[in-house]
Every structure is written in C-alpha cells, then in structure tokens.
C-alpha cells in the first residue's frame, strides 16, 4: 500500500506541464523545492512555539499556503513563471524573516540557492543574469545595513537564535543540494550523450558503411600509430582484390556487387579475424595487417581463405557465381616506410593478377 502511494506521488511530481516544449526536469525540480519549502513553513511555527512563544510564528502558515498554491500552479503555469514565483516567495520570506527576527538567524544564505536556480532554470542572456545577481546583492546589502542600524521587530534569546540558525542552515544546504544535484545530472547526461555521439561519429568516420570494416583512413592511422609506438615490431601486410569484380557489377548489377562484398567480408572475418586487422581499402580491394607474423604464416592463412572462396560459390538469386580473390603479401623489412610497404604489396597483387588471378604472391 505504501509503495503504491509513493509511486502515485512520484508520478504526480513527474506529471508533464500543461504547455508544450517545457523543460520537465526543471518542472520536477520546482515541485520538489516547493514541497521542501512548504514543509519548512509548516515546521517553523511549531519551532517558534518552543523556542520563543511570544513571537508570532503563524506567518509560516501563510507562506505554507502560498507554497502549496505555487506547487499546484506548476501544473498550469509555464515553467518560467513557476521559477519566478518560487524565487519571489523565497525572497519575500528572507526579507520578512530578517526584519522580524534579525540578521543572525542565517536565512539570508537562501539567496545563493535562488541565484543558482535562476541562472540554470531561466534561459536568458548574460545581461539578465548579471542584473539579477546585482539585484540580489543589493537586497542582501540593504538588509545587512538595516540590521546594523536597527533592532529586529522580535527580540530572540540566544538559544532561539541558534535553533533558527541550525534550521535555516539545513534548509539552505538541502535546497542548494537539490538544485545542484538536478543541474549537475543534466550536465553529466549531456556530456555522456556528447561523448557517445562523438564516439559514433568517430566510428562512422573510420568505418566502411557497407561492410562494417575499417576504411582506408582508419587503417592508415592504426598502422602509422602502431609503427611509431613500436618501430621494431614485426608485421606483415596483405592486400586482396576480388577477381573480375567489374564483370560482376556489369552483368548482375551493383546490388549483386554489394552483396558479394558483404559475403566476402564475412568469409574474411571468419578466417582472418583472429589474426589480422581488416580494411576495405577501396572498391573491391582489401588490406590486412598481421601483427607479429611473418610472410610465410600469412601466406598459409590467405591460402586457406582463397580455397574457402573457391569451394563456396556465391548464391545470387538462385545463380551460383564463382568468386575468387588474388592476394599480395609484404613482410616488414624494418627499413622501408609504410607507404613503400603498401606500394610493394600492391605490386605483388598486380603481379598475381598478371599471372592468372586466384593466387597468393609473396
């Protein structure tokens, strides 16, 4: 039963505004602030009856009613109006409280929460926020000067003053904590989304959209950084090219060509994935980076891939197409640049094409 009531109450707090395109988080924050203020205003007269029976603490009930009206008003009013009413209520309480009970009770610290609330909840320009800051400072300064020259309307004992200081300190810290927690979570959420979005953009920038493999840019960046960090690392480059790919596109269409690329990517990933980084270099060409492997080892793996393609024709709408690949292999000689190694492996691939295709040249 209690859990159900709590659920309904939470749903009430989260209920959307009557107006469209209103920031729901700020609306939720406002309702929580008004609940906390309303509770404070209800407790205040009881505290005053205990610590200073002669004073008139009933004003807390008046402000509790106002807080309740603003709370229910958040379901009808615009969020901006709700923020202004919330701040106005708090400022009125600060002014009346200080005039009645003096500066030493610490209620003026509530102004810092009011400052933070308006800065983050109302999307105005810098000039508006500077003016609002100056206004709060002026009110605080005038109240301070007034209290230095005049006695409060109700004189309090030292014990009563201490109790009110504690009570107002708790209120100020709780409200400031609630406001900061809400807006900091907004910032963290936005930053997290931005980081994820940037990661997605980075992945998209370095990924071939058709095959899901790295593109030329990402592979070159990876090889270059790897070579710079470990200049003495042994590695082997492989380059593969689909034989007669233009004929496939011309005869069966580009949809067939795209399907062949995806199909070959699956085979390459299954055979080479544990051993190499794969990249679609461009068109029907692929680059493979084999770390800590020599040319002979790479030739064995590429021959496994080549024979697998030979023995597994591609099914295109009921027609079986024999799709083969030619490969070039170049081992790092620890003296040539990356560009030179890539040129060498491309030359060997071209040599394989001239020798009849469907082979590995090392």
How would you write the pLDDT of the chain (362 residues) with one tens digit per residue?
666 666 676 676 667 766 666 667 888 888 899 999 999 999 999 998 888 877 777 899 999 999 999 998 888 888 888 889 999 999 999 999 999 999 999 999 999 999 888 887 776 677 888 898 999 999 999 999 999 899 988 888 889 899 999 999 999 999 999 888 887 765 555 556 666 666 666 666 678 999 999 999 999 999 999 888 888 899 999 999 999 999 999 999 999 999 999 999 999 999 998 899 999 998 999 999 999 999 999 999 999 999 999 999 999 988 999 999 999 999 999 889 999 999 999 999 999 999 999 999 99
Q: What is the pLDDT of residue 216?
A: 92
Q: What is the pLDDT of residue 167?
A: 93
Helix-helix angle 126-149:79-101, to 10 degrees: 10
Asked if residues 185 and 28 have their Cβ atoms less than 8 Å apart, the reply is no
Asked if residues 139 and 91 have their Cβ atoms less than 8 Å apart, the reply is yes
3-state secondary structure of 153: coil
pTM: 0.56
Q: What is the pLDDT of residue 9?
A: 62
Tokens encoding 155: 């004189």
Tokens encoding 312: 């597994």
Helix-helix angle 110-121:79-101, to 10 degrees: 170
| Phi, psi at 313, each rounded to 5° | -60, 155
Distances (CA, A) of 198 to 194, 205, 279: 6, 10, 22
Q: Distance between CA 186 and CA 180 in Å, rounded?
A: 10
Could you give the residue ranges of the DSSP H alpha helices within 52-76?
Answer: 59-73
Q: What is the pLDDT of residue 202?
A: 63
Q: Distance between CA 323 and CA 239 in Å, rounded?
A: 16
| Strand ranges, E, within the chain | 235-242, 277-282, 285-291, 314-316, 319-321, 325-331, 360-361
Distances (CA, A) of 292 to 134, 182, 289, 340: 67, 51, 10, 19
First-to-final CA distance of the chain: 76
Q: What is the pLDDT of residue 279?
A: 94
Asked if residues 343 and 351 have their Cβ atoms less than 8 Å apart, the reply is no
Q: Distance between CA 64 and CA 66 in Å, rounded?
A: 5
Q: What is the pLDDT of residue 157?
A: 87
């Amino acid at each position: 039963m209690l859990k159900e009531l709590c659920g309904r109450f939470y749903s009430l707090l989260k209920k959307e505004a009557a107006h469209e395109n209103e920031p729901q988080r700020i609306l939720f924050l406002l309702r929580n602030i008004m609940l906390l203020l309303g509770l404070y205003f209800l407790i205040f007269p009881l505290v005053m009856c205990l610590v200073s029976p002669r004073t008139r603490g009933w004003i807390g009930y008046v402000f509790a009613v106002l807080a309740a009206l603003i709370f229910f008003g958040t379901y009808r009013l615009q969020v901006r109006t709700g923020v202004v009413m919330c701040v106005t209520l708090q400022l009125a309480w600060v002014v009346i409280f200080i005039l009645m009970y003096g500066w030493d009770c610490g209620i003026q610290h509530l102004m810092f929460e009011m400052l933070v609330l308006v800065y983050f909840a109302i999307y105005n320009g810098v000039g508006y926020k500077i003016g609002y800051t100056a206004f709060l400072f002026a009110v605080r300064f005038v109240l301070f000067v007034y209290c230095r020259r005049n006695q409060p309307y109700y004189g309090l004992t030292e014990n009563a003053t201490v109790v009110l200081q504690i009570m107002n300190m708790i209120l100020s810290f709780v409200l400031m904590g609630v406001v900061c927690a809400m807006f900091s979570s907004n910032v963290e959420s936005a930053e997290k989304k931005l980081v994820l979005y940037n990661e997605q953009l980075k992945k998209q920038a370095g990924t071939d959209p058709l095959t899901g493999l790295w593109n030329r840019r990402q592979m070159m960046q990876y090889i270059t950084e790897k070579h710079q960090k470990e200049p003495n690392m042994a590695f082997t480059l492989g380059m593969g090219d689909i034989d007669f790919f233009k004929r496939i596109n011309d005869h069966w269409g580009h949809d067939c060509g795209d399907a062949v690329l995806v199909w070959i990517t699956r085979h390459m990933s299954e055979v080479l994935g544990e051993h190499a980084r794969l990249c679609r270099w461009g068109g029907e060409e692929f680059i493979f980076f084999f770390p800590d492997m020599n040319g002979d080892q790479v030739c064995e793996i590429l021959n496994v891939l080549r024979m697998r393609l030979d023995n597994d024709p591609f099914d295109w709408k009921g027609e079986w197409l024999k799709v083969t690949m030619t490969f070039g292999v170049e081992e790092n000689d620890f003296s040539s640049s990356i560009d030179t190694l890539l040129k060498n492996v491309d030359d060997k691939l071209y040599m394989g094409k001239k020798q009849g295709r469907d082979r590995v040249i090392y």
